[in-house]
Amino acid sequence: MASSTTTTTTKKAQKDQIILFHYPYSPYARRLTWYLKLRGIPYLECIQPPVLPRPDLSSLGISYRRIPLISHNSQIYLDTRLVISHLESCPSLAATYPPLGSEPGTSDLAVQSLLSVLTTGTDLFFRAAELLPPSLPLMKDKAFLRDRADFFPQPSKGAADSYALKRAEALTAVRDAVEMMETTILADGRDWVLGTETPRLADVEGVWVFHWLLSEKYGLQGAVYDAEAVNEKKYPKVFAWVRRFEGHLEGLPKVEQGKVKGEEARGLILGAAEDSSSSSAEVDATEPVVRALGLKRGDEVEVWPTDSGSNHRDKGKLVGLNKREVVWENGKGVKVHAPRKGFRVVKVAEEGKGKL
């Protein structure tokens, strides 16, 4: 495992330099910091405000509103699903930091993939977010509530019954997911999801929502407001898994290289972008969206997430599009990668002809 170093002051980007843009209590950001720590991959962090605006990202030509995202070798990767997939498959990183994922064609990969779908491809996280305790300081922050209005219900005058019902429904959904883990994957008493000696990517994919709600140290205290629904006596294996995962991470050496301010991060990214060669990504002519829109490399496109934050859209020249990702170069010269799943791509027509 790589050990931590002092905060960097260099203005020159290094090979395989990763800059993580996040705020510390984001559960999605924890997915990435855990992943990087488990692999021992060093990174710089650029701390962002929990609500918009985020000038550091705007200065890079990024309209996308969700956190976290990373810069890797001057290119920006959105969405933790794509970030982890990219880091897993990067040959230069794999040479020093062995990947955590399961081998293709195995049942272990199926379990890993299905846990990713459970926690990132269903409404489980949004159900968990509906359990944010009303007493939480953030829930009294008007700016935060406005920023997250689309994500979870908030108590309002005259709607107490509706709010209580939504929280009860959310707790039921979380309880069902906890019970599934207790009675299937963890039922035989294994320490880790795949029965390995140490946690793997499958554990990262599966544990983060449960950790957010159930951790005694770092969880949302009071989120599981009805202990009769979810408690350690009913679900000892899930609670033990969460505690064991947390303890394993605490026993690993730090991998952060330090913190950078937005101006330095921008300099590192834009400076490296100017010197970098063109992306190897290609536009796959067999992709249905490519065929439907007649897309080709260099076309002006607009890209945005379809599940949340859809009002924050990015534009640029299409660099590549395949079944895994779409890549475009924005007005700052930065290449941005987004996953295909959960994102929409449209072609921006020539001026005066509207949008397809």
At 70-85, the pLDDT tens digits run: 999 999 999 999 999 9
Sheet holding 69-72, edge to edge: 256-259, 43-47, 18-22, 69-72, 75-78, 335-339, 325-329, 314-321, 300-305, 343-347
What per-residue confidence (pLDDT) applies to 9? Answer: 41
What confidence tier does 24 reach under pLDDT thresholds 50, 70, 90?
A: confident
In the predicted structure, residue 156 carries a pLDDT above the cut 70: no
Residue 171 in contact with residue 230, Cβ under 8 Å? yes
What confidence tier does 141 reach under pLDDT thresholds 50, 70, 90?
A: confident
Residue 353: what are its φ and ψ, rounded to 5°? -110, 5
Give me the CATH code for the 107-250 domain, please.
1.20.1050
How far apart are the C-alpha atoms of 181 and 270, rounded to whole Å?
A: 44
| Higher-scoring residue by pLDDT: 173, 308 | 173
What per-residue confidence (pLDDT) applies to 351? Answer: 54
DSSP structural state of residue 205: H
What per-residue confidence (pLDDT) applies to 272? Answer: 77
Most confident of 4-18, 63-77, 339-353: 63-77
Question: Which residue do the tokens 């930065």 mark?
Answer: 334
Residues 205-225: what's their mean pLDDT?
96
Please work out, in degrees rounded to the nearest 5, the angle formed at the alpha carbon of residue 117 by the alpha carbons of 289 and 335: 45
What per-residue confidence (pLDDT) applies to 274? Answer: 61
How far apart are the C-alpha atoms of 266 and 336, rounded to whole Å?
A: 14
In the predicted structure, residue 3 carries a pLDDT above the cut 90: no
What confidence tier does 157 reach under pLDDT thresholds 50, 70, 90?
A: low
Element (H, E) at 112: helix 107-120
Residue 41 in contact with residue 97, Cβ under 8 Å? yes
DSSP structural state of residue 348: B
In the predicted structure, residue 8 carries a pLDDT above the cut 60: no
Residues 86-93: what's their mean pLDDT?
97
Q: Would you state the structure tokens that stand for residue 136, as one six-digit string?
A: 């939480």
Q: Look over the chain and give the mean of its residue pLDDT values, rounded to a whole number.
A: 90
- The answer to whether the Cα torsion of 105, 106, 110, 115 is positive or negative is negative
Task: Indicate the residue type of 237.
Answer: K
- pTM here? 0.91
Residues 339-349: what's their mean pLDDT?
95
Q: Where in the chain is the domain with CATH 3.40.30.110?
A: 280-356
Residues 40-68: what's their mean pLDDT?
96
Strand ranges (E), 33-173: 43-47, 69-72, 75-78
What per-residue confidence (pLDDT) applies to 256? Answer: 82
Instruction: Give one DSSP letter per residue of 27-72, joined into a string.
Output: HHHHHHHHHHHHHT--EEEEE--SSS--HHHHTTT-----S-EEEE
What per-residue confidence (pLDDT) applies to 331? Answer: 97
Q: Which of 6-10, 146-150, 217-221, 252-256 has the lowest mean pLDDT?
A: 6-10
How far apart are the C-alpha atoms of 292 and 305, rounded to whole Å?
A: 19
Residue 70: what are its φ and ψ, rounded to 5°? -130, 155
How far apart are the C-alpha atoms of 106 and 93, rounded to whole Å?
A: 23
Element (H, E) at 117: helix 107-120
Instruction: Give one DSSP letter per residue of 258-314, joined into a string.
Output: EE--HHHHHHHHHHHHHHSPPP---B-TTSHHHHHHT--TT-EEEEEESSS-TT--E
Residues 180-209: what's their mean pLDDT?
98
Residues 328-332: what's their mean pLDDT?
97
What confidence tier does 152 reach under pLDDT thresholds 50, 70, 90?
A: low
Residue 99 in contact with residue 39, Cβ under 8 Å? yes
Residues 93-102: what's their mean pLDDT?
97
How far apart are the C-alpha atoms of 234 and 288, rounded to whole Å?
A: 47
In the predicted structure, residue 188 carries a pLDDT above the cut 70: yes
What per-residue confidence (pLDDT) applies to 159? Answer: 63
C-alpha distances out from residue 185 to 102, 193, 242, Å: 16, 6, 14
Name 240's Cβ contacts closer than 8 Å, sequence gap at least 6: none
Q: Where in the chain is the domain with CATH 1.20.1050?
A: 107-250
What confidence tier does 7 reach under pLDDT thresholds 50, 70, 90?
A: very low
Task: Indicate the residue type of 264.
Answer: E
User: What architecture (CATH level 2) is domain 280-356?
Assistant: 3-Layer(aba) Sandwich (3.40)
Residues 127-139: what's their mean pLDDT?
87
In the predicted structure, residue 29 carries a pLDDT above the cut 70: yes
Residues 82-97: what's their mean pLDDT?
97
